[in-house]
Structure 1
Amino acid sequence: MINNKEELDSYERAFERHKSRYDLTPDELHNARKHGFYPRSYLIYDFKKWGMAQFLAERDFHKLDFRERGLSPATIDKRNLPLLLQNNAHYLPSLNIAIDKGRVQYIIENGSYQEGDFDLEELLQSYLKKYAKLIVKPISLCGGRGIFTIANTISEDTIKRIEKEGNAIINNVLINEEYAYRINPSSLNTIRVIFFKTKKGVLKPISMVHRFGSTANTCVDNTSAGGVVAGVDIETGGLKHAYTLERKRNDLDTHPLTREKINGLIIPDWSSKKRAIDDLLQEINYLEYGGLDVAFTTEGFKIIEINKKPDFQGIQHLAPALINEEFVEFLRLRGFQKPNAIQPEKE
């Protein structure tokens, strides 16, 4: 276990940053800090049902020793994912343009790799004619920040914006298949799959959440950008406990804009979708823990990105992590020192 002052201070700094963002009482903030949780976790986790001891606290999570080995560090940079999956290009958007210091680093289109001295404006204009709409994702930002789309034509300001950002990945805009598009058509609505490696070397999901953009003018579905998040029952594909998080948690049954049903919706053809997720996990078996963002689109099943240390609340949205004995063992081998979790009573 990493047990130095720097790691503990990172929790304290994050707590101080977050504590004024949410409407919590002084007692609630005191309890959150005492037990090592972030303020937002106090709004998300069902402590009343499960008790605090069943949940893995962020302060404990910060101390764990996640090993950096093999290809794992390469996934930090979104531009590396198309290279890692080039031989499985069906998982990728059709178009992948890597931008390095404002210039085209490489292009992978339908699995075909290109390099060259490209004129960025001419290149993007030609791809706009082919794909109608492109999306630019900065490498240095997270939580959906800085992402923007390009449609119709390329302006001088657009090129300057890309060059100023420096490092980015540009894709064709993907469209969700019907069930997710109906809930919110303005964004690509993704499923975040939190996974870990079992002692047998198999990547296994511990939790999944489905995210949806919440407004008509957003192209992102991130919770930090006001998006809707719903837990996914891994066995049935049912959506549960949808909410948005602002100063308070706002529980929802339907989407706030389209009024389409979220809670209780069963994702169509879930058994084949779950199988596709499991197959993809084995393709990235060089990782041991992370968050996989995937989408079911009109072009098929696509991977959007891999997060090496994903937003921790997604793991425990529906249930605490410490009731999963395999995950507890995974944590123990990385320095976790609490006893095995107690199994919950059946409802």
Structure 2
Amino acid sequence: MATVAEYLLPRPYERWAVLAGDELTEPAPPVPAAKRRWLYRHGFRARAAHLYDFETYGPEEYLSDAQRYVGAYYLNGAWRDAIDNKLLCHLLLAEFDEHRPSVYGLLRGSRLHPIDEETVPTPDGGPGGRLLGRTAGPASSIPDGADWVLERLDRERLVCKRFRGGSGKQVLILASEGGGYTINGEPCTEDELRGRLDGLDEYLVTEYVRQASYAAAVYPGSVNTMRVLTMYDEEAGEAFVPIATHRFGTRRSGALDNFSQGGLSVGVDRETGRLSRGIQYLPPERPEEFERHPDTGEAITGRTVPGWAAIKADLLAIADRLSYIPYIGWDVVVTAEGDFSIIEANNNTSALIQVHEPLLREKRTRRFYERHGVL
């Protein structure tokens, strides 16, 4: 119903339908009716009762779900589609190639349409063409997707993900292990893998990014990413970071690190890169806090992201360069001290990022949202 409403209702009412649809269909915590009514009056979904510290902070210090779903969604104007489209975003970041994983191609109609041409040879051994413009050679020269992927898996892991979408939904991590194959860590046969690949459409095939040792030590079963939010301050003429978190996978989240699927969300001190406690939340259960990883026992609280100052400086330089897109949620993998890869960028960021601290406590952040009509 929410999807239909997005097409039928005028802006911004369709976003209210999406908010209502998510609240009605996603797992919700048991919240008393009076508390739920209070939350709804202030623009929050029921889950906020468990995630936000309303005893310490007032509701006005949090970016509400209504403000996030409606106002913040439109903040980037026409550029929101370019940011949320993973292929267009990859091309938009061409200037910063050292921070981009390779995108080998687009799976469509069982074929792999090359994008980063130097990486995808055609069946006759010649160079692959680019997606933009005409692909070199006849249609028959475009590689068979399953054949190309299986051949490539002999050399490296691969990631398949829809060119749109978020929250780790429909992400496949493919590997060749012990003479067989795995999809998101689950064993499968070659025929099963081929069947899965043949069923994919509009999926990007990308490089699998290797994380730095500190992140692998905490949890090696997933690539553990950071979500860093940047805002462009037009008055000061510079970008800034209002909030950052680190995510770590768990046995419950499988091969992915997403908070919505059972991963840990960890607060990051924006000045020092020091990690705080981890929080895991799968409603209707209550959130749990961890100073050590619940599966590996490795310390989380007190660790520091290696080279955080350099990472933040480089991200801010990119955000300054893209100042016409003032609001970006970056998903990055730290690959070495002071170095990182941008897995994707997001037009919006989940309000759940505030589980560690309210976004609107700082005047600069509040002014940004006010200037753009979100508050």
- TM-score normalized with structure 1 length: 0.85
Cα displacement (A) at 1:95: 4.8
Q: For the residues of structure 2 that align with 1:111 and 1:281, how far apart are their CA atoms? A: 28
* 2:291 counterpart letter in structure 1: D
Structure 1: which amino acid aligns with 2:298?
Answer: E
TM-superposed CA distance for 1:275, in Å, is 2.0
Shift of 1:4: 5.6
Of 149, 162, 174, the match for 1:124: 149
CA distance 1:4–1:139, change in 2 (3 Å): closer
Residue deviations 1:249-272 (CA, integer Å, cap 9, x gap):
111111111011112222223222
Conserved in 1, the CA contact under 8 Å of 2:291 and 2:301?
A: yes
Match of 1:183 among 218, 230, 235: 218
User: Which of 196, 199, 202 is the matching residue for 1:164?
Assistant: 199
- The aligned residue for residue 281 of structure 1 is 319
Matching residue's letter, 1:320: P
The letter of the residue matching 2:258 is: N
Q: CA RMSD in A?
A: 2.8
Secondary structure at the residue paired with 1:219?
Answer: coil
1:232 Cα offset (Å): 0.6
Q: Report how far residue 282 of structure 1 moved.
A: 3.0
**Structure 2 equivalent of residue 107 of structure 1:** 115
Conservation of the 8 A alpha-carbon contact between 2:113 and 2:143:
no
Question: Structure 1's 311 and 191: CA in aligned 2 closer, same or farther, altered over 3 A?
Answer: same
Contact 1:3 1:63 in 2 (8 A): no
The letter of the residue matching 2:372 is R
1:90 and 1:110 in contact (8 A); partners too: no
**Aligned counterparts, 1:307-318, within 5 A:** 307-314=346-353, 316-318=354-356
| Secondary structure, counterpart of 2:114 in structure 1 | strand
Query: What 5-or-longer segments of structure 1 have no aligned partner?
Result: 338-347
**AA of the residue aligned to 2:143:** F
Change (3 A) 1:268 1:227: same
Question: Which residue of structure 1 aligns with residue 186 of structure 2?
Answer: none
Cα gap change, 1:305 to 1:100, in 2 (>3 Å): same
Of 8-17 and 183-192, deviating more is 8-17
Distance 1:134 1:156 in 2: 17
State the alpha-carbon separation in 1 of the partners of residues 11 and 105 from structure 2.
41
Matching residue's letter, 1:331: Y
1:47 aligns with 2:54: yes
Cα separation, partners in 2 of 1:163 and 1:285, compared to 1, 3 Å: farther
Give the AA of the match of 2:264: V
- 1:106-148 CA distance string (max 9 Å, x none): 23167999425112233223322332x1121123543222222
Consecutive unaligned residues in structure 2, runs of 5 or more: 1-9, 121-126, 130-134, 136-141, 182-189
Q: Partners of 2:52 and 2:119 in 1: how far apart?
A: 41
Partner of 2:239: 203
Q: Which amino acid aligns with 2:40?
A: R
Change in Cα spacing, 1:249 to 1:231, as seen in structure 2 (3 Å) is same
Report how many aligned residue pairs link the two structures: 333
- Alignment-derived partner of residue 263 in structure 2: 227
Deviations 1:222-248 (A, max 9, x none): 011110001111011111231100121
- Matches of 2:33 and 2:324, distance apart in 1: 44
The 5 A counterparts of 1:66-105 are 66-69=74-77, 71-105=79-113
Closer, same or farther: CA 88–268 of 1 in aligned 2, 3 Å: closer
Q: Is the 8 A contact 1:87 1:111 kept in 2?
A: no
Matched letter for residue 340 of structure 2: F
For 1:340, the equivalent position in structure 2 comes to none
Read off the aligned partner of 1:39 and give its amino acid letter: A
**Would the aligned equivalents of 2:158 and 2:205 in 1 still touch at CA under 8 Å?**
yes
Is 1:147 the counterpart of 2:171? The answer is yes
Which AA in structure 1 matches 2:370?
A: R
Once the two structures are TM-superposed, the CA of residue 3 in structure 1 deviates from its matched residue by 8.3
Pick aligned residue for 2:44 from 37, 51, 54: 37
**Measured at CA, do residues 298 and 114 of structure 1 come closer, stay the same or move farther in structure 2, by a change above 3 Å?**
farther
> What is the distance in 2 between the residues matched to 1:86 and 1:60?
32
- Deviations 1:163-200, CA, capped at 9 Å, x for gaps: 32301111232221111110011111000012222124
Q: Which runs of 4+ in 1 moved over 6 A?
A: 109-113
The answer (yes or no) to whether the contact 1:136–1:149 under 8 Å persists in 2 is yes
Question: What displacement does 1:305 show?
Answer: 0.5
- Match of 2:56, SS state, is helix
After superposition, the Cα gap between the structure-2 partners of 1:145 and 1:288, relative to the gap in structure 1 and judged at 3 Å, is: same
How many angstroms apart in 2 are the aligned matches of 1:219 and 1:110? Answer: 29
Match of 1:136 in 2: 160
* Structure 1 position 68, deviation (Å): 4.9
Q: Which residue of 2 aligns with 1:328?
A: 366
Identity %: 23
Q: Which residue of 1 aligns with 2:341?
A: 302
Q: Tell me if the contact between 2:221 and 2:255 (Cα under 8 Å) persists in the aligned partners.
A: yes
1:14 equivalenced with 2:22 (yes/no): yes
Counterpart of 1:341 in structure 2 is none
Q: Distance in 1 between matches of 2:304 and 2:118?
A: 31
